[in-house]
Amino acid sequence: MRFGDYVICVASMAVILALIAFPLDMVLFSALGISGMSSWGSLGCLIVSLFLSALISGYVFAGKIWESRMGTIARITVLWAAFVMLVAIIVPATLADWGLKAWEEYLAMYPGAILSTNELVTWEMMTLDMFMFLVVGLALVFGFIGLYVGSMLRRPGESGK
């Protein structure tokens, strides 16, 4: 596989993720809820979206993936995780209440605490690091599994007949 093929595969995964995330949000938010500090609906949507986008791309690109199976899947997964990391860094910047959420979570752990502006910014950066760690970890795990399973569903030599 050439580098351009990896980029096309990751771009396809991103497009698929964008197309399935909203419908999954609608289903999982209503089923699992969005209230409270732990938003299981959001996490469930993220996990399912990451897995399905990798599964579908693994199926579509199975012929290319089979050339050098584990190496190709690993390279695609790392490139995918890097892309997801960039999105994870950008998302909090677009959400007006990200800082407020971080502050509320801190106050829930340490009621009545008073932080300086520098300490609050440091706490928000730690929250962003945790968010990035979680999202990249999920992208690595479910990306690899989805690509592997998707490529197994369509072995080389199979035709669409």
Distance CA 41, CA 27 (A): 9
Q: State the amino acid at position 129 in one-letter form.
A: D
DSSP three-state, residue 96: coil
| Bigger pLDDT: 25 vs 19 | 19
Domain ranges across the chain:
3-153
Average pLDDT over residues 54-65: 90
Region of 2 please: left (phi>0), alpha (psi -120 to 50) or beta. Answer: beta
Looking at the predicted structure, is the pLDDT value of residue 160 above 80?
Answer: no
Average pLDDT over residues 88-93: 84
Give the CA-trace dihedral at 28, 26, 89, 110, to 10 degrees. Answer: -60
Distance CA 122, CA 45 (A): 29
- pLDDT class of 36 with cuts at 50, 70, 90: very low
What pLDDT does residue 11 have? 95
- pLDDT class of 41 with cuts at 50, 70, 90: low
111-144 pLDDT, tens digit each: 888 888 888 888 888 888 998 999 999 999 999 9
Cβ-proximal residues to 138 (8 Å cutoff; 6+ apart), any chain: 46, 47, 50
32, 44 contact by CB (below 8 A)? yes
